[in-house]
Amino acid sequence: MNRLREHIEEITPITDEEFDYIQTFFTLKKVRKNQFLIHEGDEVKHEFLALDGIFKVFYIDEDGKEHILQFAKKNWWMTDYVGFFKQKNSKMFVECLKDGEVVSLTLQGREKLASEFHKMDHFFRIKLTNGYIALQQRIILLLSSTPQQRYEEFSRLYPDLISQIPKKYVAEYLGVSRETLSRLYSNNNK
Amino acid sequence: MNRLREHIEEITPITDEEFDYIQTFFTLKKVRKNQFLIHEGDEVKHEFLALDGIFKVFYIDEDGKEHILQFAKKNWWMTDYVGFFKQKNSKMFVECLKDGEVVSLTLQGREKLASEFHKMDHFFRIKLTNGYIALQQRIILLLSSTPQQRYEEFSRLYPDLISQIPKKYVAEYLGVSRETLSRLYSNNNK
């Protein structure tokens, strides 16, 4: 749980006593590659903070096509947030791509922590701000015209992810073919 | 400023005294159609809450093509949030599509209010949560395969916007041609 404390303290200092209480809201869980944290149709009971590992959040459209909403790595939060905040069933899958650990938190837990501690309200606000920025950048990437621009933007934003995620998922995330992506990878490494 | 108070009190009650102080951080501004609140390249000094009117937030890519990130109407917040939170110059334009009024707030003002009042931290967190949900829905709309699905999703989410925004902007937002959009409109009204 030390990693959770470090993560919170990147935003706001907390005392030992406070952390002893705060951590009771979180549950630690090991996750293996290919394991799912959430399936489509599940009640979205938790959000997850990745302490380690790589994850992808995706959905499958009416035609059976998979679309990746986001990846997540250490210190990123993830779930189907529409389902989580609106207490609806999930439209998303959350799958582990590389062994790791997460802590989970319920919406009731989040709201209780935020109402009892001004600093936790602040913490969640700052985390949401970062999430908001990441989603805006995701939209700009999707709107960008060329595969080249999308690839460059993704590499610029997440240089560490590029090397750890199978190419087929990067291609899917960027909405480009695997052949195009391979060309971009090799051009980039010249 | 009553509308600002009503907007805040949808999330959290505040006293007359508190509101007297809180409102000093906001500046009221009338905006006419075609007027810009932000130009690309501007320092992003403010975020804006629309009290009335319709707005669009968009950017122009390297090839000179316009892309609409979002629309905004009464009680929606808008700015180039990446620029605002990171204190960088704007990549976005914010333009008024229909006469209205906004209140503006600086980042310093937002942070001061949030640190002085737990309830304002809470207010901004809840607003960000809603914004986060809207962006996730925007992404799903962009990833959706067919113009028909995109149009239906947009109509479902924002039935009031469909009737107030010029068709050319709706087409641009959805990434479909105007001809396709006209067909969808007329099918929908049969």
Of A70-84, B13-27, B105-119, B161-175, the range with the lowest mean pLDDT is: B161-175
Name the 3-class secondary structure at A13.
Answer: coil
Asked if B141 and B174 count as a contact pair (C-beta separation under 8 A), the reply is: yes
| B17 within a domain of the structure (yes/no) | yes
Tokens 């989580």 correspond to: A84
Burial class (CB in 10 A: 0-12, 13-18, 19+), A158: middle
- B184 or A85, higher pLDDT: A85
Q: What is the pLDDT of residue B26?
A: 98
Q: Which of A78, A76, A105, A102 is nearest to A92 (CA)?
A: A78
**Residue A24: inside a domain:** yes
What pLDDT does residue B153 have? 86
pLDDT for the residue numbered A169: 92
What CATH number does the domain containing B47 carry?
Answer: 2.60.120.10
> What are the b/e assignments for B45-58, b being 16+ CB within 10 Å?
bbbbbbbebbbbbb
* B167 within some domain: no
Q: Would you state the pLDDT for residue A83?
A: 95
- Whether the pLDDT of residue B22 is over 70: the answer is yes
Assign B1 a pLDDT band (cuts: 50, 70, 90). confident
In a domain, residue B103? The reply is: yes
| pLDDT at A189 (0 to 100) | 66
* Predicted pLDDT at B145: 66
Task: Give residue-wise pLDDT tens across range B77-99.
Answer: 999 999 999 999 999 999 999 99
Confidence at B39, pLDDT banded by 50, 70, 90: very high
* B107 interface with A at CB cutoff 8 Å: no
Confidence of residue B189 (pLDDT cuts 50, 70, 90): low
Tell me: pLDDT of B148 over 90. no
User: What average pLDDT does the structure give for chain B?
Assistant: 93
Asked if residue A173 belongs to a domain, the reply is no
Confirm whether the ipTM is greater than 0.85: yes
Mean pLDDT of B118-130: 95
* Sign of CA pseudo-dihedral B139, B144, B146, B149: negative
Find the domain containing A54 and state its range.
2-107
Establish if B187 belongs to a structural domain.
Answer: no
Q: Residue range B163-181: average pLDDT?
A: 88
CB-based contact, B16 to chain A, within 8 Å: no
- Asked whether the predicted pLDDT for residue B140 surpasses 90, the reply is no
In a domain, A97, yes or no: yes
Residues in B closer than 8 angstroms to A131, CB to CB, are 132
Name which of B128, B133, B143 is nearest A82 (Cβ-Cβ): B133
Question: Is B188's pLDDT higher than 80?
Answer: no
- Nearest residue of A to residue B81, measured between CA atoms: A133
Name the percent of chain B lying above pLDDT 90: 70
Structural domain includes residue B45: yes
pLDDT digits (tens, 9 = 90+) for A18-30: 999 999 999 999 9
Instruction: Tell me which residues of chain A have a pLDDT lower than 70.
Output: 145, 189-190
**Predicted pLDDT of residue B181:** 87
Nearest to A128 among B62, B129, B142 (CB): B129
Domain count, chain A: 1
Kindly determine whether residue A143 and residue B142, on different chains, have CB atoms separated by under 8 Å: yes
pLDDT at B128 over 90: yes
Instruction: Judge whether B114 is closer than 8 Å to chain A, CB to CB.
Output: yes
The dihedral built from the CA positions of residue B5, B10, B16 and B19, taken in this order, carries a sign that is negative
